[in-house]
Amino acid sequence: MNDRPLTLMAVHAHPDDEATGTGGVLARYAAEGIRTVLVTCTDGSCGDGPGGVKPGDPGHDPAAVALLRRQELEASCGVLKISDLEMLDYADSGMMGWPSNDAPGSFWQTPVEEGAARLAELMRHYRPDVVVTYDENGFYGHPDHIQAHRITMAALEMTGLTSKVYWTTMPRSMMRRFGEAMRESGADWQEPDPAEAAALAEIGLPDEQITTWVDTTAFGGEKFDALAAHASQGENIFFLKMGQEKFTELMGVETFVRVHDTTGAALPENDLFAGLR
């Protein structure tokens, strides 16, 4: 083993995604002396503007939104002690079905091989031991999440450098507890209609299919504060509405599916770096 530090690379679609599903592991492993690299694929320009103005509404300035969200992302990285931030700066594609999906230069319209080649360069530079990204459906069907998955898996195939690869997920039991907690807290929580409820029921995985459960309870405050750093998107970050204590109680374990491994570490596991140290 040489002097190169153990390295975790998380590939995410938008500013704020890093905090939601991986804020805990990024903070925990940074505290353990592991180099943490965040790759954010888009500029977040389809997010809310100041005052909550929505994309397509009068006064929504995508360039200004992208600048603000970059500043928020840098603040989040500071909270999580992320070692290195890399931005691919593709245009945010918006939600599935939005006209912005078809915009030239949007991430969704970018050829996978082009995005993968750029990401592969970063992988060759940082040589991550562990890479984390989304599953093939981008966890919930967002086009930029799907595209982040595609370019990550293609870049991994191009480089062949990484010992362990994970997809983020959430146990179905946690999804049920989250809804219950929001109702109990009295937060402004609207029950989904039957179609939405059916779609939500398909998010995540049955508990027994999850390979990796990482306890990040000790870093619940950092994860909450990293999400809060994305204040311009606060209307959409419903996790913040439950308060830090309840948030940490519910979100203190981050879960993954291991899809590639060269270490032989036994499953289930409680450490993304099991078998590497």
What is the pLDDT averaged over residues 20-40?
A: 97
Distance, in Å, from the CA atom of 170 to the CA atom of 210, rounded to the nearest integer, reads 8
Q: Would strands 253-261 and 7-12 be described as parallel, antiparallel, or unpaired?
A: unpaired
Query: CA angle at residue 199 from 92 to 242, to 5 degrees?
Result: 75
pLDDT of 188 over the 60 cut? no
Find the mean pLDDT for residues 248-254. Answer: 91
Quick one: pLDDT at residue 273? 98
Q: Does an H or E element contain 118, and which?
A: helix 112-126
| 94 Cβ contact list (under 8 Å, min separation 6) | 46, 55, 100, 101, 106, 143
To which H or E segment does residue 254 belong? strand 253-261
Would the CA dihedral through 134, 135, 140, 142 be positive or negative?
positive
Span 91-100, average pLDDT: 93
Give the tokens for residue 102.
């078809």
Q: Is the peptide bond before 268 cis (omega within 30 degrees of 0)?
A: yes
pLDDT at residue 194 tops 70: no
C-beta of residue 239 within 8 angstroms of C-beta of residue 49 = no
Q: Label residue 196 by pLDDT band (50, 70, 90).
A: low
* Helices and strands in the chain, H and E counts: 8, 7
Q: What is the spatial distance between Cα 259 and Cα 185, in angstroms, rounded to a whole number?
A: 36
pLDDT tens readout for residues 160-184: 999 999 999 988 888 777 767 666 6
Question: Taking 60 as the threshold, does the pLDDT of residue 91 lie above it?
Answer: yes
Band of pLDDT at residue 140, cut at 50, 70 and 90: confident
